[in-house]
Amino acid sequence: MSAWKAPSTWNKLTSTIFFSFSFSSAVHILRRHTNAFCLSRQTTTMLPQRNEYSNEAEYLYHKSLILETPSEMDPVLYFYLIDAVVHLDYTLSSLAYNPESIRCVMTAEYLRRRVDLAKEGDNALFPGFMVWLRDTNQEMFESCPMLWQLIYDPDECTRYVGFRIVLDPASRTPLPPQFFRDMADDIFSQQVLRSIYPAGALGKLFAEYKAKHAAR
């Protein structure tokens, strides 16, 4: 018996099907790569350009508490130390990127929660403590982080406005980049960090203030 031999029309049909399949696959692959390339170009063009505040943001993010033990610090003083850092980060990020960037959005959500926490327990005593310290111990008041002095001194015009640090509400000029570097160095200085442990200078004074407040 002779082997089966496909008709010539069958060979033509299979060739046509194979060509159509190969051509369709090639078109599909080309479209996928074209879309990926276009998306890559679009993503690249959407990346924010670096500016003079970007360097200060990186400088802030390189700060660390690795040599400290935050869990042993006075919880209220530590709360307000981190609070100052977060407001610094939000203000800086809005200038390095933009207020609608995902970083600013996430930080703002975190700060909204901290607004409520600041009203709870001993946290609520901190603003009054800063005024008391200014009036009774000027030297220790001036040893506090500069941002604390500016924000919690009622005679200063510096405020948190929409979570941003505003030195002068009447001014539209952005804070200079050097401001953020100076504040970061000040907040993370060894003098400040050591002082907010219970046995530190500020830790002892805050304990004294709490005792006076409780005795009223």
CA distances from 66 to 37, 75, 192, 202, 203 (A): 42, 17, 15, 21, 20
CA distances from 110 to 11, 74, 82, 103, 107 (A): 69, 21, 12, 11, 5
Half-sphere exposure for 90 (CA within 13 Å, toward CB): 22
Q: What is the pLDDT of residue 26?
A: 45
CB under 8 Å, gap of 24 or more: what pairs does 40-49 form?
A: 48/96, 48/97, 48/98, 48/101
Burial of 180 (0-12, 13-18, 19+ CB in 10 A): buried
Instruction: Tell me how far apart the alpha carbons of residues 205 and 86 are, in angstroms, rounded to a whole number.
Output: 24
Q: What is the pLDDT of residue 182?
A: 97
Handedness of CA 132, 134, 138, 141 (dihedral sign): positive
Q: What is the pLDDT of residue 31?
A: 53
Instruction: Tell me how far apart the alpha carbons of residues 132 and 139 are, in angstroms, rounded to a whole number.
Output: 12
Which two tokens mark 26?
Answer: 């090639």
Q: What is the pLDDT of residue 27?
A: 42
Q: What is the pLDDT of residue 104?
A: 81
Q: What is the pLDDT of residue 48?
A: 56
**Predicted confidence pLDDT, tens digits, the chain (216 residues):** 444 444 454 444 444 444 444 445 544 444 554 444 444 444 444 445 688 999 999 999 999 999 999 999 999 999 999 999 999 999 999 999 877 888 888 888 888 888 899 999 999 999 999 999 999 999 999 999 999 999 999 999 999 998 999 999 999 999 999 999 999 999 999 999 999 999 999 999 999 999 998 988
Q: What is the pLDDT of residue 105?
A: 86
148 in Cβ contact with 130 (< 8 Å): yes
